Amino acid sequence: MQERVVVTGMGAITPLGHTVHETWGNIVEGVSGVGPITLINTSDYLIKIASEVKHFDPEKYMPAREARRLDRYEQFAIVATNEAMKQSGFEITEENSSRVGIVLSTAIGGLTSLQDGVATMLNQGGRRVSPFVIPMMMPNGAAGNLSILYGARGPSYCVATACASGTDALGTALMMLRAGVIDVAIAGASESTICDIGLVAFDRLGALSRRNDDYSMTPQPFDLNRDGLVMAEGAAILILERESHARARGAEILAELAGHASTADAFHITAPAEDGSGGALAMKLAMQNAGVNPDEVDYVNAHGTATPLNDVMETKAIKTAFGDYAYKVPVSSTKSMTGHMMGATGALEAIFCVLAIRDRVLPPTMHYQTPDPACDLDYVPNEARQMDVDIAVSNSFGFGGHNGVIVMRKYQ
């Protein structure tokens, strides 16, 4: 029988707060992180809104010299990991360092640093380009920096599966822990792509909401009038351990990461498979991996991006995976409040599943006004719901046809 894997620490920095506690408090209250963009000048762009991490000063968390050599997404990863490690109470030593792994993912990496480096080269010449552009832009930069910072000498990975990256980071760590390769994993994801090229490129895809003047009501997952996602940024980290390791050191166990599955649509580079078959298969396999029947699931945290195609596809996928029980299981999209944190979003939503189990509350889908006949499930509209939660499923679907699903279970 394979050993169980448990959560012993969580950390986050998001548009709704600089800690898990602050973020979750705003989620339960239905607070939105969406607002006018302040990080860049949007006067020439059609998109004026995003979900930014507010009032972030990296020098509160790290020396100024170190902060200047890190991309914003790397800074976020360090902040979230510090919180998660503190909660876990786990200390990395020379003796255990080779048994600690890192799976710190991102969809895109240091896009702002790459953009700024190119601009410097074109405007000022190659001699003015910073020697830190490469380590600041590379997707594995955050994982490498965490390894150095904490002295973790086990496997260190960056899993890049677009917006499924955070979920697949947890799944990769789960496999390593179950296989006995490591005893502890620092796992999650970080993202910061609210820059000129990030904003314009996603808008050119037709993915973004353009409700600049009415941003208090966007995004609208599963609503008939949804018009796209809102870009967001932030990081979320979970400390995962083999159950025997956590119990031996007397750690507080927050939940069990019970299962994971990953599939590919093999359909289109940006659009999801219209019938939801890839997402449905991932849900089925994740539940099988966890030893859970569909009718045992108490809550589904949806990918729920508020794009016209995704929400219909995901509704179909849930119906296929859960059968008639799909109409009984509550489903909600926390992206209605956080916005879409791209690669980091799945890791954050995993934390929300842990907290839903702990606090016996389902986060709402905000801004839900007009039902869509093609989206006819229980989306926990506009208000958190008190409910016992023993098992939660979290969905993440990404460009390239990547589907990642995890199952969180109450630890007993």
- 156-187 pLDDT, tens digit per residue, is 999 999 999 999 999 999 999 999 999 999 99
Give residue-wise pLDDT tens across range 308-332: 999 999 999 999 999 999 999 999 9
Return the percentage of the chain with pLDDT > 90, whole number: 99
Encoded tokens for 99: 């048994």
Please check whether the two domains, 5-248 and 258-409, share a CATH topology. yes
Separation between Cα atoms, residue 163 and residue 239, nearest integer Å? 21
- CA atoms within 13 A of residue 78's CA, in its CB half-sphere: 25
Answer whether residue 113 shows pLDDT above 80.
Answer: yes
3.40.50.300, 3.40.47.10, 3.40.640.10, 3.30.450.20: CATH of 258-409: 3.40.47.10
The pLDDT, as a whole number, for residue 312 is: 98
Q: Which amino acid is at 132?
A: F
Tell me which residue of 33, 24, 19, 73 sits closest to 190, measured CA to CA. Answer: 73
The pLDDT, as a whole number, for residue 2 is: 86
Q: Which amino acid is at 271?
A: A
**Single pTM value for the model:** 0.98
Give residue-wise pLDDT tens across range 58-96: 999 999 999 999 999 999 999 999 999 999 999 999 999
- DSSP state at residue 19: S
Residue with tokens 């719901």: 385
For the chain, state the CA radius of gyration. Answer: 20
Active site residues: 163, 303, 340
Give residue-wise pLDDT tens across range 358-409: 999 999 999 999 999 999 999 999 999 999 999 999 999 999 999 999 999 9
* Length of the chain, in residues: 412
The pLDDT, as a whole number, for residue 108 is: 97
Kindly state the average pLDDT of the residues 24-30: 98
Give residue-wise pLDDT tens across range 252-266: 999 999 999 999 999
Separation between Cα atoms, residue 108 and residue 161, nearest integer Å? 9
Q: What is the CATH code for 5-248?
A: 3.40.47.10
Encoded tokens for 256: 């069990």
> Residue 394 in 3-state DSSP?
strand
Answer whether residue 350 shows pLDDT above 90.
Answer: yes
Strand partners, 300: 331, 393
Element (H, E) at 146: helix 141-150
Tell me which residue of 410, 407, 396, 5 sits closest to 185, measured CA to CA. Answer: 5
Per-residue CA distances from 328 to 258, 324, 349, 376 (Å): 22, 8, 21, 11
> Residue 300 in 3-state DSSP?
strand
Encoded tokens for 197: 């090229």
The pLDDT, as a whole number, for residue 1 is: 73
Return the percentage of the chain with pLDDT > 70, whole number: 100
Answer whether residue 23 shows pLDDT above 90.
Answer: yes
Per-residue CA distances from 59 to 25, 132, 361 (Å): 25, 18, 35
> Residue 103 in 3-state DSSP?
strand
Tell me which residue of 288, 255, 289, 349 sits closest to 23, measured CA to CA. Answer: 349
- DSSP state at residue 257: E
Ordered by start, the domain boundaries in the chain are: 5-248, 258-409
Tell me which residue of 234, 287, 243 sits closest to 261, measured CA to CA. Answer: 287
